Amino acid sequence: MGRFKLPDDVALITAVMAVDRSWLDRAKESLSEVFGPLARESVLYPFDIHSSYYEKEMGCDLIKQFVSFERRIPMDRLPAIKIATNKLEERFACREGGRLGRRVNVDPGYMAPSKLVLATTKNYDHRIYLGEGIFADLTLRYCHGRFETLDWTYPDYRTDLAQKFFAEVRSDLLRRGNE
């Protein structure tokens, strides 16, 4: 019989997408107020080159950035974090014609030494239900000294920019584990 052992805390990450730089900065500031100081920020990149999925709701020329936080979290906090980021999205949204239009989209997840897991409200065959309407999406796995993508990994998480950023976050996590 296996012994129960809580997993080590992990690095909280978010992908923040916005209609412009001012909304992106507001979102990061609000995230810092809730989850603590940012540890790393990726280069900003245009999201539209990867997908038009959010265009109808948010418009064109969306920008996106990955961020990580200094404070480590227990893995089981992911559902509560996703609920909090959804509330932040609602707070920043605008009402047009009776419907809510987001100005920011925040996708939280965590980096463990062996994987990057995102939180989502959408259920698919490869996602695991965590509770409270939230599912876990294994997005990248660390194997043979690098991150490997999976069939369902989002296009922008496959880029060199993302791979470099998440490798740095993983290094930070491992280094802090040895302090």
Q: What is the pLDDT along the chain (179 residues), one digit of tens a residue?
A: 889 999 999 999 999 999 999 999 999 999 999 999 999 999 999 998 778 788 888 889 999 999 999 999 999 999 999 999 999 999 999 877 777 789 999 999 999 999 999 999 999 999 999 999 999 999 999 999 999 999 999 999 999 999 999 999 999 999 976 55
CATH code for the domain of 152: 3.30.70
What pLDDT, on a 0 to 100 scale, did the predictor assign at position 69?
A: 98
CA 68 vs. chain centroid, Å, equals 9
Residue 4 lies in a domain: no
What pLDDT, on a 0 to 100 scale, did the predictor assign at position 59?
A: 87
Residue 1 lies in a domain: no
* Structural domains counted in the chain: 1
Domain that holds residue 169: 10-177
Residue 5 lies in a domain: no
Residue 109's closest CA among 162, 146, 159?
162
Residue 41 lies in a domain: yes
Please compute Rg for the chain using Cα positions: 16
Residue 2 lies in a domain: no
| Dihedral class, residue 11 (left if φ above 0, else alpha if ψ from -120 to 50, else beta) | beta
| Tally of CB atoms within 10 A around 30 | 17
What pLDDT, on a 0 to 100 scale, did the predictor assign at position 141?
A: 97
In sequence order, the β-bridge partners of residue 94 are 101
pTM comes to 0.93
Residue 160 lies in a domain: yes
What pLDDT, on a 0 to 100 scale, did the predictor assign at position 55?
A: 85
Distance in angstroms (rounded) separating the CA atoms of residues 57 and 73: 31
What pLDDT, on a 0 to 100 scale, did the predictor assign at position 167?
A: 97
Residue 92 lies in a domain: yes
Residue 127 lies in a domain: yes
Residue 10's closest CA among 65, 70, 66?
70
